[in-house]
Amino acid sequence: MNCGYVAFIGQPNVGKSTLMNHLLGQKVSITSRKPQTTRHQILGINTNKKGQAIYMDTPGMHESNKKAFNRYLNKTADTTLAGVDLVVWLIDGLAWQDYDDVIFEKLKKANIPVILAVNKIDRVKNKEAIFAFFKGAQERFPFKEIVPISALKQTNLDLLDNLIMDLLPEGNMIYPEDQITDRPERFLVAEIVREKLTRRLGDELPYALTVEIERYEEQPKITKIYALIWVERETQKNIVIGKQGELLKSIGMEARKDIENLIGSKVYLQLWVKVKSGWSDNERALQSLGFKS
């Protein structure tokens, strides 16, 4: 059978997490409309009759290196290319972006087989434009395959899945066939809470917060989870809590339902909001909060 590691790369908010979740048939990476929702390298393990593809969802590659947090995201995305067997580069429609030139250079140096997945193809009605873009892309880089897809509508995902499996090297399975990710439940729970926060808050605040599981207690009839939401300023804390605590309560209720579905158990979820000034630009603070590349 074929088996290997597959890196999903691309700029922020092109749909990498949505693509991985649909290929797996299960939600492993959180999603939102906001860029840089994915912060960590997350493995999704897809095992079928052809073999085992180990997907690596990564933070979006982007230009900003101003803060320690941005440097962490870029380093995590870059180091993913080391040791993988195949790259799936996801782009947003028939258009190259400025930073894509840098990605081209990274891929040339990496010397790894690459599939170009052109997302949101359902929005393009001009077939001649599609053929012209594909021809130009193939002239620009020796892609193994170029596949038009819609991650959200699941268009051509079976085709992409088969191409990925065919391009992986022969080998034995690395993970048990029933395993879907390498991440522990504590991590997935923290990500679920952060997803609800990201979706409910404004454009800027999600990047100034992170979630840490302080206690995780599995009891016979219920799992008790105590989570800390870290923000950078007192004003941000007030926004997350909301008027009379209503926003935090609502986020907790939404997160609890998803967590119960994830772990198959009744959940008691307690959320606190605390301030850690400047955590996103402090290397030591990032490490203490689990951002270790």
Q: What is the residue-level pLDDT of the chain in tens, covering all 293 positions?
A: 899 999 998 887 788 888 998 999 888 886 656 555 555 567 899 999 999 999 988 766 655 555 665 665 566 656 777 789 999 999 998 989 888 888 898 888 888 999 999 999 998 889 899 999 999 999 999 999 999 999 989 999 999 999 999 999 999 999 999 899 888 888 889 989 988 998 888 776 766 788 999 999 999 999 999 999 999 889 889 999 999 999 999 999 999 999 999 889 999 999 999 998 877 666 666 665 565 55
Domain with CATH 3.40.50.300 in the chain: 2-167
- Write the pLDDT tens digit of every residue in 153-207: 999 999 999 999 999 999 999 999 989 988 888 888 998 998 899 888 877 676 6
Determine how β-strand 42-47 pairs with β-strand 2-9: unpaired
Round to whole Å and give the CA distance between 239 and 237: 5
**Third-level CATH fold of 185-288:** GMP Synthetase; Chain A, domain 3 (3.30.300)
Domain with CATH 3.30.300.20 in the chain: 185-288
Which residue from 112, 31, 111, 105 is spatially nearest to 61, judged by alpha carbons? Answer: 105
Which residue from 198, 185, 293 is spatially nearest to 240, judged by alpha carbons? Answer: 198
Round to whole Å and give the CA distance between 170 and 4: 8
CA distances from 196 to 57, 240, 252, 255 (A): 19, 11, 8, 6
The number of angstroms, rounded, from the C-alpha of 241 to the middle of its chain's C-alpha atoms is: 26
Check if the beta carbon of residue 92 is closer than 8 Å to that of residue 110. no
- 170, with CB counted inside 10 A (0-12, 13-18, 19+), is exposed
DSSP bridge pairs for 3 = 52
Tokens matching residue 43: 């493995």
Round to whole Å and give the CA distance between 223 and 216: 7
Residue 163, pLDDT score: 97
Within a 10 A sphere around the Cβ of 277, how many other Cβ atoms?
A: 11
With b for 16 or more beta-carbon neighbours within 10 A and e for fewer, the 134-167 pattern comes to: beebeeeeebebbbbbbbeeebbbeebbebbbeb
The number of angstroms, rounded, from the C-alpha of 116 to the middle of its chain's C-alpha atoms is: 18
CATH of 2-167, one of 2.40.50.140, 3.30.300.30, 3.40.50.300, 3.40.50.1100: 3.40.50.300
Tokens matching residue 66: 């101003």
Tokens matching residue 31: 């999603």
Check if the beta carbon of residue 58 is closer than 8 Å to that of residue 14. no
Q: Which residue has the tokens 């959940």?
A: 267
**Model confidence pTM above 0.85:** no
